[in-house]
Structure formats: C-alpha cells, structure tokens
Amino acid sequence: MNKDYDMWLEIEKLANILNATIEDFYKAGIELANSEANYQIKLRSQALIERAQGVPVTMISTFIKGHSEVAELRQKRDICESRYKMLENKINSIKLQMRVLDAQASREWTKNDGVR
C-alpha cells in the first residue's frame, strides 16, 4: 500500500478514537460534577450534624472528613476527577499524534511533488 495512504488511514483511525474519547470526556465531566455535588452536600449536612452535637467549630472539618459516608463520596469524587483528567490527557495525546502524522504526510507530499 501507499505510504501516504497509510498515514491518512491512521489519521482517520485516530480521529474516530478522538471522537469517542471526547464523548467519554463529556460523560466523565457530568459524572465528576454529580459526584462533586453529592460530596459537597453530604459534607455540609454532616458539618451541621456535628455542630448540632456540640463539636467545636474548629474541629468539625477534621471530624467530617473521617466520617465513612463523606470519605466514600470524596473517594468517588477523586476517582471521577482522575478519570476526567486522564481523558483530557488522552485527547491531547491523540491530537498530537494526528498533528505529527499530518506534518509527516505533508512533508511526504511536498517531497514527492518534484518527482511526479
């Protein structure tokens, strides 16, 4: 097969992967926002519970971070954030690969213009 054609097939393949990754990135963003909201709601409600039980205001932050439900929601939020950042990096990596292939194909075409 033609080397130029192979490069364009690879760019097309990467474009398809990029589109799927962007869709995953969008979904991960929604999941991150929802997990952040759930975490913040539980954090605030637990802070009110601790305050109602007479825990000093300066100690509430320490107490609620150790509460099992709050810690679990924070862990879920952190996992969602990690996935979101990973997908963002994957998108940037795919775009870079596409630019490299595009530049390489352009150089090949320019080099071959004098030969044809």
DSSP letter for each residue of 26-67:
HHHHHHHHHHHHHHHHHHHHHHHHHHHTT--HHHHHHHHHTS
Per-residue pLDDT reduced to its tens digit, 61-98: 998 988 999 999 999 999 999 999 999 999 999 999 99
Question: Could you read off the pLDDT of 25-44 as tens digits, one per residue?
Answer: 999 999 999 999 999 999 99
Position 114 pLDDT exceeds 90? no
| CB half-sphere exposure, 10, CA atoms < 13 A | 19
pTM of the model: 0.82
